[in-house]
Structure 1
């Protein structure tokens, strides 16, 4: 057993030892859900107030799919904070920007292109509606995945890699696995963002609002939560290959509870043969368990 792995096991043993009884109960409940699952599942839960955490497969590399649009938005907004751009900056969207055969609410609304959208509008389409064409417009503004990867590397410790945009991922099944994140790294990114340690106060509040507006995969993290539950999150989903394997069904973000607590939640489901509804239900059950547990606390 190598030294790094030994330290990792000791860390999580100590984490379990000092986890409050309520946290141990939640960990047991999540493990029971995972025992029923198909594929590899990564989970991260962090109380942003106390920093108490629960992780499963914390250091595994999971394909992010559209969850990578969250760090992409962070990189764009850093340029806004630097004064290079503004949210009301006009961006020309040409027919060549609106690729067919990809998810794109922008294209659905403006099928002929030749329009002008503000940077704020493109960010909202990209994050809240997961628009793939909007995503790649933002990548081009930032000079491509290499530059975005460099920016993200400055935001969090190693554990996130971005090597391809949406058009790049569409070129082959294996490409998506190069855009990976560990549960720990994505949680770290959300926690720093939520605390205002990455963006200015204005940009932080703007992106929080956009994340609260996310309307993709309503059956995932929000699927079993009370009506009107406040969830600031980003989803991501891959296609299913000829062998019936879905590479990624993901949801990551922050649950804002009625008692005022903010709880980070990252759920990555990879290489699963389960149905769409089963994978969504898995995410929803974990989210409900976390919501119920932390809603009881003061």
Structure 2
């Protein structure tokens, strides 16, 4: 088994000191297995990164033929996340309405819509259904317990949707390896979820921040709210295409 790159791991540590907070990093080259880490098993509040496993769970239902991307889902206004939490869907259909699975996934992943995420979580069997999907993938270190609406109402609940840097990378590895099909038997293995992650406008200063412009990055941010001047979490997980064609 490969050992982490000590030099790079130490460098992570010295950079992290400037953050004056808890920092977790897991960087892995998918093709070679080279990796470097900092606090890889420390738990962090997941925030909107949860939209990746939720969407993967729903895409698995699509791949299994239980749903299609055109399946319409009714959204009651009781499901809307509260004002102050990002949700273009709530603002567009204030009295509720219907959206397709495809629209919900795009809204959740590309523009990080909290309502879209909660509705998809319901479709996937709630927090328990998404957790069961993650467990079936063999990814440990990731806990899903609540909806966005629930942790908007109670500050402490956000920490119960938790993630480690290592589990985030393992999940992305599964996403990359299995690249969920758009429809059953679809040989194209359309990269629907990854495409939304490539196109997202969120977090330009995070993973993308110091990379050369135009570097392909499929990523999902997560941002906590502030209390007493402290942000509960600032996250970004993703896959960066390196100049030699490998993926980090």
Pairwise CA distance, 1:226: 1.9
SS at match of 2:105: helix
Match of 1:105 in 2: 88
- CA distance in structure 2 between the aligned counterparts of 1:175 and 1:204, rounded to whole angstroms: 35
Closer, same or farther: CA 204–195 of 1 in aligned 2, 3 Å: farther
1:260 partner SS: coil
Aligned Cα RMSD in Å? 2.0
Q: In 2, Cα distance between the equivalents of 1:115 and 1:259?
A: 46
Cα deviation code 1:193-243 (max 9, x no counterpart): 1112x734655611110111122122211122222221101100111113x
Match of 2:16 in 1: 34
Q: Is the 8 A contact 1:156 1:185 kept in 2?
A: no
The alignment status of 1:92 with 2:74, answered yes or no, reads: yes
State the distance in 2 between where 1:204 and 1:45 align.
Answer: 26
Once the two structures are superposed, residues 77-108 of structure 1 have per-residue CA deviations (whole angstroms, 9 ceiling, x without a partner) of 11101100001112233444434412102223
Which shifted more, 202-211 or 41-50?
202-211
**Pair member with larger Rg:** 1
Paired residue for 1:118, among 69, 75, 100? 100
Aligned residue-pair number: 242
| TM-score, reference length from structure 2 | 0.90
Partner of 2:207: 221
Give the whole-Å Cα distance in 2 for the aligned partners of 1:238 and 1:71.
18
Distance 2:221 2:156 in 1: 20
Supply the distance in 1 between the matched residues of 2:189 and 2:71 (Cα, whole angstroms). Answer: 15
1:149-160 matches, cutoff 5 A: 149-160=131-142
Q: Secondary structure at the match of 2:159?
A: helix
CA distance in 2, matches of 1:158, 1:226: 33
Contact 1:156/1:189 (<8 A) preserved: no
**Structure 1, residues 46-67: CA drift from partner, whole Å, max 9, x if none?**
0001111111101111111110
1:232-262 deviation line (CA, Å, top 9, x unaligned): 01100111113x2211100001001232111
Of Structure 1 and Structure 2, the greater helix share is in 1
Aligned-partner Cα distance in 2 for 1:202–1:26: 37
The CA distance in 1 between the partners of 2:217 and 2:21, in whole Å, is 25
Mean alpha-carbon deviation: is it higher for 53-62 or for 200-209? 200-209
Contact between 1:233 and 1:254, CA under 8 Å: does it hold in 2? yes
* Matching of residue 46 in structure 1 with residue 34 in structure 2: no
5+ residue gaps, structure 1, are 1-10, 264-298
In the alignment, which residue of structure 2 is the partner of 1:252? Answer: 237
* CA distance, structure 1, for counterparts of residue 111 and residue 224 of structure 2: 15
TM-score (norm 1): 0.75
Residue 199 in structure 1 maps to residue 152 in structure 2: no
Matched, 1:15 2:3: yes
| Gaps in structure 2 of 5+ consecutive residues | 182-186
Are 1:146 and 2:128 matched, yes or no? yes
Report what 2:114 is aligned to.
132
CA distance in 2, matches of 1:54, 1:204: 30
